[in-house]
Amino acid sequence: MITVTRSSHNPILKPDRTKAWESQAVFNGCPVRHGGKIFLLYRALSFPHYHTEAGVQLSVSDIGRAESEDGFHFTKRTPFIVPKEHWERFGCEDPRVTFFEGRYYIFYTALSVYPFAPEGIRVGVAISDDLATVKEKHLVTPFNAKAMALFPGRVNGKICAILTAHTDMPPTSIGIALFDRPEDLWSREFWQQWEKTIPDHAVPLLRNPLDQIEVGAPPLKTKDGWLIIYSYIRGYRTPKPLFGIEAALLDLDDPTKIVARTDLPLMVPEEEYELYGIVPKIIFPSGILEEKKNVLIYYSAADTTCCVASVNLEELIRFTKDTFEARKNEFQVRFERAPENPILAPDPGRPWETKAVFNPAAILIDGRVHLLYRAMGNDNTSVLGHASSRDGIHFDDRDPSPAYVPRASFEMKLVPNGNSGCEDPRITRIDDTIYMCYTAFDGRHSPQVALTSILVDKFLKKQWEWAPPVIISPSAFDDKDACIFPEKVGENYIIFHRIGDNIDIAFTPTLDFTGETTLEEQQWLERRDGFWDGRKVGVAAPPIKTDKGWILIYHGVSESSGIYRVGAALLDLKDPSKIIGRTDYPLFEPQMPYEKNGQVANVVFPCGNVLMGDRIFIYYGGADTVVGVASIEVASLLRALT
């Protein structure tokens, strides 16, 4: 789990309403060191005013300059690059500055036509010796392009630049350009030839044709490769785009080759200043500074302000390698399926489980694994069956009748042939009692969490004398995926559940609910936009205690595909409400036919886990039809979580 920390000073630069030239927005700032200070070059958007050549009121962008001692507090804000040339007369936007061979090269987006059109959105460059004055300016690309930056050193003797070509006329490409002399940077002949062969220069970072990519910060040289921070917009050409910040390592000798890249976002819009502004729900990287063992990522928020976040450089490089799709098997651990899967299947000879058996709770008692699994017959009523096994794989003891059936009004069928009953159990042993949380559903009202219990002795004797179930969910809310933490923490028990899209945590001094007390909703482990668990998350089973912390297995659903996968979090030993680790990638996902095809396709849904020896076994429903088992070595999982 990578930690990217937003600065407490954010936004570090805001519009100044007293200055017309930067009254609307200040964003896309790029930092550079000079004379013991940090200078920030940023896009400044003016108050709307009548533009003679456009013939309408326009907000025009200049490039401002500010100074700072620490990279967070900037003063002496002043215009630095302003539209003067014909090829930039409608605005100068989004600077990227690199100190190269004694001079500062500032590439920016130059707007030459209005109404704005791709052919008038190109790259310009300003050159300065001291960041006090601009010595010269040039139009760089004769075609549509943006976000160009110079590498801070030569690559095999060549001047090297990275840019985004055809940004406004897809397909868009991030490409590499090599030059012998600085003046070649603005050679029209060079760029005309380069554009004809864009695929030869492209860095293949785009994962989906509906997405969009754009260069963010100028490259940073590391021992592992050229580090680039760039904008990756998922679903850019869909109604719900997700603006994220990602990273890649490019080969030191051939930057068109990707050494590794993040296939997950480092950041997505989350904070209020990122969600609201001139263009809501946007973060966009524009600069980077190495600061001791960290890197500072400068980015814009909602196209309105400048912000900064920090991340440990080694951690960032490791995350880039670990999540790289082409190499992830070298780094990532996975649950391993039992070859015997599915270990339980519907039984056509038993009407109550002839249609499906799935989503089993699990508990290990006296060396034997017991499952309470959800079973459905053709009337779509869910009951719970029981099976047990000595080795956790071969379940040679399977009861002919249900161990638990609907008894209360809130779980009795109200819609003929509709789904109803007792669903998706999770069980926890505390002292001599087994507590079971399950989803109670009558087919008409909201599904809610029910709680019941049974003495361990009765359970082992299959004397199914369950306590009367009681609803512990607040009324009128969908509530599911509940389980009880296996130990009392301080004066309270902990119950995990899910009312919305995130895992909730609730604290209660007693488990003797009367029906008058309900669980609180305190969002705890949240879904992650852009990740495999971006739509919703839910607890799988009670956490397992290790010397490094409590391992919590959970399921997550993808926003884009709707696929159910499995991940893990690590909870603090003394304070389990504190999450100290989380897998960035899924540990388990539908791959086998019995997981891909069934009542609900592409689902692996664990409701039980047990620790046997040095391995954690998860018991899961496959496609809401069968039961499977998979296991993982505890030490390997802990390495992935710490």
Q: Is 523 left (phi over 0), alpha (psi -120 to 50) or beta?
A: beta
292 Cβ contact list (under 8 Å, min separation 6):
none
- All structural domains of the chain, each given as residue ranges with its CATH number in brackets, are 13-331 (2.115.10.20), 336-641 (2.115.10.20)
Place of tokens 């899924």: 586
> What does the DSSP assignment read for 132-154?
SS--EEEE--SSSEEEEEE-SS-
Partners of 362 in beta bridges: 371
pLDDT, residue 327, reads 58
pLDDT, residue 331, reads 57
pLDDT tens-digit map of 287-331: 999 999 999 999 999 999 999 999 999 999 988 987 776 555 555
pLDDT, residue 330, reads 57
Residue spans of the chain under pLDDT 70? 325-331
Place of tokens 């309470």: 372
Q: Between the CA of residue 473 and those of 78, 232, 236, 467, what are the distances in Å? A: 58, 40, 39, 18
Q: And the tokens for 522?
A: 């305190």
Write the single-letter amino acid at 269: P
Q: Is 562 left (phi over 0), alpha (psi -120 to 50) or beta?
A: left
**What whole-number distance in Å separates Cα of residue 553 and Cα of residue 427?**
14
Phi, psi of 631 (to 5 degrees): -140, 165
Sign of CA dihedral 315, 318, 324, 329: negative
Q: And the tokens for 39?
A: 């200078």
Closest CA to 207 of 139, 285, 263, 126: 263
Tallying the residues shown for the chain, one arrives at: 642
Q: What is the pTM of this model?
A: 0.84
**Which regions of 313-380 does DSSP assign to beta strands (E)?**
336-337, 356-365, 368-376
